[in-house]
Amino acid sequence: MITTNKGKGVLVEEEPEKPEKVKRRDQGLAQIESDAELAQRLHAEEIARVGTEHEKKDKSKKKLTNCCFLAKSLMKFKPE
Protein backbone atom coordinates (compact mmCIF):
# COMPACT_ATOMS: atom_id res chain seq x y z
CA MET A 1 0.00 0.00 0.00
CA ILE A 2 1.33 3.40 -0.96
CA THR A 3 0.26 6.57 0.85
CA THR A 4 0.98 10.07 -0.37
CA ASN A 5 0.06 13.39 1.14
CA LYS A 6 -0.86 16.06 -1.40
CA GLY A 7 -1.87 18.71 1.13
CA LYS A 8 -5.58 17.97 0.85
CA GLY A 9 -5.58 14.64 2.58
CA VAL A 10 -3.99 11.28 2.39
CA LEU A 11 -4.32 9.41 -0.88
CA VAL A 12 -4.16 5.67 -0.48
CA GLU A 13 -3.31 3.58 -3.53
CA GLU A 14 -3.42 -0.17 -3.46
CA GLU A 15 -0.69 -2.05 -5.21
CA PRO A 16 -1.97 -4.35 -7.92
CA GLU A 17 -1.85 -7.96 -6.83
CA LYS A 18 0.41 -10.19 -8.79
CA PRO A 19 -1.49 -13.15 -10.19
CA GLU A 20 -0.33 -16.48 -8.85
CA LYS A 21 1.41 -18.66 -11.32
CA VAL A 22 -0.61 -21.75 -12.12
CA LYS A 23 1.36 -24.93 -11.88
CA ARG A 24 1.33 -27.35 -14.77
CA ARG A 25 -0.20 -30.01 -12.57
CA ASP A 26 -3.11 -27.70 -11.74
CA GLN A 27 -3.56 -26.82 -15.42
CA GLY A 28 -3.79 -30.51 -16.24
CA LEU A 29 -6.36 -31.10 -13.50
CA ALA A 30 -8.47 -28.19 -14.75
CA GLN A 31 -8.35 -29.61 -18.28
CA ILE A 32 -9.36 -33.05 -17.03
CA GLU A 33 -12.30 -31.57 -15.10
CA SER A 34 -13.53 -29.61 -18.11
CA ASP A 35 -13.15 -32.69 -20.32
CA ALA A 36 -15.15 -34.77 -17.84
CA GLU A 37 -17.95 -32.17 -17.77
CA LEU A 38 -18.03 -32.10 -21.57
CA ALA A 39 -18.14 -35.90 -21.75
CA GLN A 40 -21.04 -36.05 -19.29
CA ARG A 41 -23.00 -33.43 -21.25
CA LEU A 42 -22.40 -35.21 -24.57
CA HIS A 43 -23.37 -38.55 -23.01
CA ALA A 44 -26.66 -37.11 -21.72
CA GLU A 45 -27.43 -35.60 -25.14
CA GLU A 46 -26.68 -38.93 -26.87
CA ILE A 47 -28.93 -40.86 -24.49
CA ALA A 48 -31.76 -38.38 -25.09
CA ARG A 49 -31.31 -38.65 -28.87
CA VAL A 50 -31.26 -42.46 -28.84
CA GLY A 51 -34.33 -42.54 -26.60
CA THR A 52 -36.35 -40.43 -29.03
CA GLU A 53 -35.21 -42.60 -31.95
CA HIS A 54 -36.39 -45.73 -30.14
CA GLU A 55 -39.74 -44.10 -29.39
CA LYS A 56 -40.19 -43.24 -33.07
CA LYS A 57 -39.33 -46.80 -34.11
CA ASP A 58 -41.75 -48.24 -31.56
CA LYS A 59 -44.55 -46.00 -32.81
CA SER A 60 -43.91 -46.96 -36.43
CA LYS A 61 -43.82 -50.68 -35.49
CA LYS A 62 -47.15 -50.32 -33.69
CA LYS A 63 -48.67 -48.64 -36.72
CA LEU A 64 -47.36 -51.37 -39.00
CA THR A 65 -48.66 -54.18 -36.79
CA ASN A 66 -52.05 -52.46 -36.52
CA CYS A 67 -52.22 -52.10 -40.29
CA CYS A 68 -51.18 -55.75 -40.81
CA PHE A 69 -53.76 -56.93 -38.28
CA LEU A 70 -56.49 -54.93 -40.00
CA ALA A 71 -55.45 -56.22 -43.42
CA LYS A 72 -55.48 -59.85 -42.22
CA SER A 73 -58.83 -59.47 -40.54
CA LEU A 74 -60.29 -57.87 -43.65
CA MET A 75 -58.97 -60.70 -45.84
CA LYS A 76 -60.89 -63.22 -43.72
CA PHE A 77 -64.17 -61.55 -44.60
CA LYS A 78 -64.07 -61.66 -48.38
CA PRO A 79 -67.35 -60.80 -50.02
CA GLU A 80 -68.71 -63.65 -52.09
pTM confidence score? 0.43
Residue 63 belongs to some domain of the structure: yes
Overall number of domains in the chain: 1
Of residues 11, 35, 30, the one with CA closest to residue 2:
11
- The residue with greater pLDDT, 65 or 42, is 42
Q: Which residues have a Cβ under 8 Å from the Cβ of 23 and sit 6 or more positions away?
A: none
CA distance 29 to 79: 77
Residue 12 belongs to some domain of the structure: no
pLDDT score at 77: 66
Residue 59 belongs to some domain of the structure: yes
CA distance 23 to 20: 9
Please write the tens of the pLDDT for every residue from 15-62: 778 888 878 777 888 888 899 999 999 999 998 888 888 888 888 888
Instruction: Report which DSSP code applies to 15.
Output: P
pLDDT score at 39: 93
